[in-house]
Structure 1
Amino acid sequence: MDIKRIINIVVISLLVGVIVYNFSWRPSKIPTGDPESRFTQKNWGKVAYAGVVAGKNNSAIWPHEIVHEFKKPTKYSTPTAASVLKAKNTCHFRKVRKDEHAGVVFVGGSNTKAGIFAFSKNKVIKRAETHLRNQAFRSNPDNNHWIDEIFSVENMNGSRGEDSMQYVDVFITQTDKPVYLILTSQNAVIWNIHKAKDVIISNIAAISTHGIAFANLDSSIPVSILYGKRKLKQCKVNPVRRPEKHMRYVQRASLRDELDAVAKQKDVYRKYLLWFKTKFGVSPEDNVVGELRVSHVLVGPKPLNNDALIRYIPLSESQIQIANQDHIVIGGERTYDEFHKKIVIEKIEKILGKKPS
């Protein structure tokens, strides 16, 4: 083989290598079509499974247009490490400054469940009392097999969905001003933070009816949190979205001439609007991003080219910080079921003051 041919082969090989390298981030199947078609309208808003990003003005974007090496989340994936979030559960937040961009996100929850379960002692007590009240033990206290009958996995895992934390990817591309993230959820959510180059996050406020956690959170960012039904009641806040015409419950109320229900919901929203403006100095609906259930949201514009794409970090490759809870279980359904069953039974035994024979 002559030297010229060898050189040509080497050059071609190098070119192929460069091409493969430049496009190696692309998955084998990039979605096509309109991502908006993946949303389904429900009573209280839109729902989308993992693989569609919610942007501002109710827009929908494919994740591959924002991040490279995107991996569709898997159910009950677990982080590499977990620690307690060092942030106080508070009613007080600082307002958004004029030199900041308010990155307002509101989701009901996500269709992506993480392998992290969190719940309080109060929930354990309530569940123990419920089982004592409703199950066969009270009517047949001499049954030596009551533990097996009442506390089978089938009976005990009904709380799994409530205790399982969901997670939402937050892609931040806003670079003209520092971003003050205001993240609100109606379910326990892990906010997986992804920021583009040159993005500055000046502050994070997170509000949730249930639990709060963060993945890939820069420890230098100030964080304020408000979570739990009892604490929200103490702070006199009930986070809700503004009723809109596209929401099914609004449409049905109009058809059935049941506008009182919508009027009541609008009143609830007005109270939340006043609270939000008082705390943050901005409206909860100004450039808000999010839907009833969505796994990914975009704060900022869509990247202009491939060089501006964000590297995707799935939960399975992340460290998380979780707001303090009495019980935190990391693992799959079986791990949770065994632990949850054990502590509820222990609570029942404590209530009874004795162990069954």
Structure 2
Amino acid sequence: MPHGKNLWLILFLFTFGGAFQKDVAAVIQTQQTVLAAEGEDAPLSCQLLETKEVHQVTWQKVFGNTKINICSYSEYYGQTVNPGFEKKVQFTEAGLKNSSIVIRKVTEQDEGCYLCLFNTFPDGALTGTTCLKVYELHEPILDVSRSNVSAESVVSCSATGRPAPTVTLTVLQQNLSFSHYNSSSVTHSNGTVTVTTTALLSASSSTQVGCSVSVLSAAPREKLITVPGFTETSDDGLVEDSGPDHSVIGWIVGVLAIGVLVALLAIFWFRRKNQSRKHQKEKNSKEQISVIQNEEIFVPQKNIEEQTSVLINRQTSKSPTTKYPITLDVESSPHPILTGKKSS
């Protein structure tokens, strides 16, 4: 069976291929050293430049005198990642002539050399080697202070990394330079090293200085800061910056802000007070109108009837022969008025 023959051949190469390994740099193209910052992903790749009968490609990691298989690829089995590396290693390109993997979120434990084996028949395994170096580098800390003994600025820059970082100070203004360089280092228990570099700078006007830190051949990290100039001499003999006093400016801004706040509160209070007064006046006016409308003059009905009866009797006794109908106009006046009309 063809498949059985290929399976036997793959198992033979996978098990005993290491005994036939050759270091043929001209046959396998790979990057000798790969740098990766701690926590980043590290890509590894290799390419077979000659035409060979390749049955399997295997990746191994070197632990001292021991080599451990981490993953492999073959046309029969496809991609295989060995137990313990499933979450750490992943194929990005799987082939019998080109193979690439990525090691995720590298740590110091991932540092070391990795082997890329092209298991061929009948030549055996052709091996390429790539060494991974994991570095650690934190952002630089750049600080400026004034010298206690001279009219100069003390520029200090420090950075922590593994291995020990290189710290370099620079002045952006061409006609200026640092003097009295001094560098010190402190090694920590976790293997990182803090390097601090200090220097003196004398400048009559403000200028920018920079700090560049790097480890190995990785890309450097940089930081800039402005150093104030020295134009005014203080009582203790030091030269002081003639630039604006930011504390005074801050005090003025604070006073203005408080004044604006007080003014806004006063305007708000007066508006509320005027609205309250206006509301009270409207309320009083409505109450007065209501009282006036509800006041009425009441005339007792009994007195009106008695007065009407007396007037009728008097009129009848004085003129018994006059026939004038008598009417009582009560509605138009509060007091009853007797009127006489001649009948036609």
Max radius of gyration: which structure? 2
Higher strand share: 2
Report the TM-score when normalising by structure 1: 0.20
The structure, 1 or 2, with the larger RCO (C-alpha pairs under 8 Å, 6+ apart) is: 1
Higher helix share: 1
